[in-house]
Chains A and B, each alone.
Chain A
Amino acid sequence: MEHAVETTLTVNGVEVRRRIEPRQHLVDFLREELGLTGSHLGCEHGVCGACTVRVNGEIVRGCLMLAVQADGCKVDTIEGVSDSGEFAKLQQAFHQHNALQCGFCTPGMLMAARDLQLRNPRASREEIREHLSGNYCRCTGYQAIVDAIEEVLHGKG
């Protein structure tokens, strides 16, 4: 650990202090050091969106941010927002619409969907697609995902 940097961050409301190797990105830190395996590591170069987490209220690619850069930051993962109930409506809609099959992309999809809901709660179907454009799903063909988010935003059944 020759380059390790003392880092303090708040993850899902809990303060965490660790010595972190600078080369470790945020998602590896969350998964391997903290055991929070809900954020998934897909492409590891910013294309797939499976690693999306929230840092200081903004969604980021967890693989494109070093864990040491999260010093002093507030990080939310799918575990935290599931436990708090913040994502409950979206999660229920995904379930009802069969908006996931293997589920690998789902935590990232939910992060992007919730971000849209907070920023643009009246988003059109086209805007939903645009906001999710950085999240790959290889199972569903996206239709059901967009349906689920549209239902939550517009109350359509």
Chain B
Amino acid sequence: MKAAPFAYAKPRALDEALALAARPNAKVLAGGQSLIPSLNMRLSAPELLVDINGLAELKGITLEQGVVRIGALATHAEIERSGVITKHLPLIAAAVRHIAHPAIRNRGTIGGSLALADPAAEYPACVLAMEGVIFTRSSQGQREIKAADFFQGLFETALEPGELVTAVEITAQLKDERSAFLELARRQGDYATVGLAAFATNGTKRLAYFGAADRPVLAANAAKAKDLESAKAALAKDLQPPADLYHSSATKLHLARVLLERAWNTL
């Protein structure tokens, strides 16, 4: 199918982009790897697309004082090839290889993934596990939103209309911290059946599951368990995964336990 007609603007300044994005029926175009399919299928029919790819201040990956800042427009491919990410955020480095396919990773962005909040997406779970902070801007000003407050439901976030994700900041993983990223999918790069972004610091585990609810969820009970068997049992209290086309809720819970078992000894 073909997209319905829309107007197109490619602002060169952030303020201009924010003013355009605040217009009724405007949508922001970053990498477009989820938005353009929804336009092509006419699931979405905005009147104006605001292409933010010309905004240099939303680009780049930097490390400052132990915190990695990833610009919203950093593509999956840039993140995959980034020395800073490989060295300081091994969880993100492991996750990015599961995101779609090379041709899609060349255009899709981390800001777009966070703003869309697909429940099967990799980055939201990673950011939740590592207690990242999402930076936003709108014509009203800027905000810093904790990952735990940002993801609010199925494709729902704390973003207000006309508000843009500008960057995400995650504290670099320290030497004595551990992380593990595991995902089950029917084919390399497909949407996750279920996945786990896990992070362990100071004896505390943070187990963020994706593809297991309407948003990424922390398995708090399993994380507190003393051994693997009780953690697997406790997972039933943390997750009530909705069935999808191919897997029942019980299958997904079973697979979530399989991932926990695989991750357990690295945490």
Contacts and interface: CB of A to CB of B under 8 A. Distances in A.
Please indicate whether A and B come from the same complex rather than being unrelated chains.
yes
Interface of A: 2-3, 5, 21-23, 25, 28, 44-46, 49, 52, 58-61, 63-66, 68-69, 71, 111-112, 115-116, 129-131, 133-135
Chain B interface size range: 20 to 34
B49 interface: yes
Interface of B: 1-8, 10, 29, 32-33, 36-37, 39-41, 49, 51, 53, 77, 100-104, 106-107, 187-189
B54 to A, nearest CB: 10
Nearest to B101: A134
A65 B32 contact: yes
Given A22-B49, A45-B37, A115-B102, A64 B4 contact: no
Residue from A21, A111, A131, A134 whose CB has the most chain B CB atoms within 10 Å: A134
In terms of DSSP, what is the predominant structure of the interface of chain B? loop
A133 B187 contact: yes
B106 A60 contact: yes
B41 to A, nearest CB: 6
A58 to B, nearest CB: 4
B8 A22 contact: yes
Contacts of B53: 69
Contact of B104 (A3, A61, A71): A61
A52 B4 contact: no
Given A45-B41, A65-B32, A3 B102 contact: no
B102 A129 contact: no
